[in-house]
Amino acid sequence: MAKVLVQTFGGVVKTMEAENPAGLAESLGVALDNTTIQVNAKAGEATTCLRDDDFVAFVTDKVTSGLNAIKGFFA
């Protein structure tokens, strides 16, 4: 297990232990749907192996407006 710093959706940074971001998400009760995982400011996956002192951030994916889909439907 790695001891890492974790930030969820711009919130407070916490110190936690986990083998990968999926383990962190489970411990925090964070759903990975519509979520981007960053490890040390680079794109990561739920299964990325973590090392001590890594910084893991869970960030909301860019949400696109449903208005664009409606405009395309009526075009």
Q: First-to-last CA distance in the chain?
A: 53
Choosing among 1.10.10.10, 3.40.50.1000, 3.10.20.90, 3.30.470.20, the CATH entry for 2-74 is 3.10.20.90
In this model, does residue 73 exceed pLDDT 80? no
pLDDT band at 63 (very low <50, low <70, confident <90, very high): low
What would the pLDDT profile of 21-41 be if each residue is shown by its tens digit?
999 999 999 999 889 999 999
Dihedral of the alpha carbons of 4, 35, 59, 29, in degrees to the nearest 10: -50
40: left (phi over 0), alpha (psi -120 to 50) or beta: left
